[in-house]
Structure 1
Amino acid sequence: MPFIIPSFGQSSVHENGFSSFQWKGQEFEYNRGNIVLLKLIDFSSNGLTGNIPKSFSTMRGLRSLNLSRNSLTGYIIPDIGKMEVLDSLDLSHNQLSSKIPISLAGIHTLGYLDLSNNSLSGKIPTGTQLQSFNASYYAGNDGLCGDPLPKCPGDILRPSTTNSKGNMNEKDDVFSFMQEVAISMGFGFIFGFWGVIGTFIWKKSWRIAFFNLLDAVGDWFYVRIVVFVSKWRRD
């Protein structure tokens, strides 16, 4: 498997496209054109210091990067998301600070991530697969917060906008429905009541006929009651 020594130590670039590096008293040389073949870098527990080289973001074919248990400082390179096929990333037990770059959440192939025991801070990017990793892989970063770690102070104080909006919309719908029912009943009463009363007021013949009908109905009920009472007494 191809292996490369990135620029942690002293290095020089030659005009012929080769780069040489001083590593543990020995000089290594490689052709930069072969960098696309690189699949694995493991420099764990080597006492490395300084920042993570930005050139790592150019290693588009890299699948595993392990820089754990060193003394690296600075921040996680913002362009780390360009390493699109990275499957494993271990930066634990260093002195890295600042926030987790949002571009890291764009590496959809990432199956293993360990950022524990650094000095990272801020909120873990929400709505990404970064929240699916175990909380232990973020432990030891006192400034980190958000799922899967405890909520950030701002999230605890801020009410859930989704729930509040949902409740407000539901209340508005109920209130609107009740308004429509009240208006409909009001118009129904007005048109029904005044439609009948108005007709009686303006049409004298209809008014006389209506009261005659009421008298006839009253007489019918009276006769029926008298007949029923008479039969009940005879029985």
Structure 2
Amino acid sequence: MKSIESLDFSANQLSGEIPQSMSSLSFLNHLNLSNNHLTGKIPSSTQLQSLDSSCFAGNNLCGAPLPNCTGNNPLVPEDPNGNGNEDEDEVDWLLYVSVALGFVVGFWCFIGPLLVSRRWRYKYCHFLDGFMDEFGCFVRRYY
């Protein structure tokens, strides 16, 4: 699908937004989405912006090659609370907490038993000794 050169979806009563994946069609030479019920912003890509504006006529679209979306565009819903990035901040906070918690749990699940059990420490050191012996032979062989 990425090598498609021509698409004509004119007068098909399509509705919704133009998919963002359309911007990855790098071989697209001809596109006709006119006379549908499409809304929203045209996805950003050099391919879609180079097309004639008549390709998007008869829809409620904005963005290049059509006149740019304005701040008062009814197609873009405004946040009634004025908290534009509240959800994004919450996601970042949860991400940081989960990474820190994962590190602490993972670290102590590995180091904790080594600190508590002498037998595990000896087994682990014996494993590392054998591994380094094998790895040392491998390194000497090729360097």
TM-score, scaled to structure 1:
0.30
Higher normalized strand content (fraction of residues): 1
TM-score (norm 2): 0.48
RCO comparison, higher one (Cα < 8 Å, 6+): 2
